[in-house]
Amino acid sequence: MSTSGLDWFKSSYSSAQGDSCVEVAVVSERTVRVRDSKDVSRPSLAVGRDRWAEFTAFVAGG
């Protein structure tokens, strides 16, 4: 799947330099794509939205 036309966004916690960050794009009602913001030419990871929600809840919990 080509990801060049997706609307990628970074976390509001990202620094202005863009270091150590991932970017996320919502592909469909079921899928989220995740990529390394430092090397956007590398393949992105596709995960289900439910699993992405579980991951972000886990990270937010510490």
Q: What is the dihedral of CA 34, 32, 52, 56, to 10 degrees?
A: 60
pLDDT of residue 41: 87
pLDDT of residue 2: 65
Domain segments of the chain as ranges: 9-60
Q: Please state the pTM of the whole predicted model.
A: 0.75
Of 49, 19, 18, give the one whose Cα is nearest residue 34. Answer: 49
Tens of pLDDT, residue by residue over 34-57, are 998 888 889 999 999 999 999 989
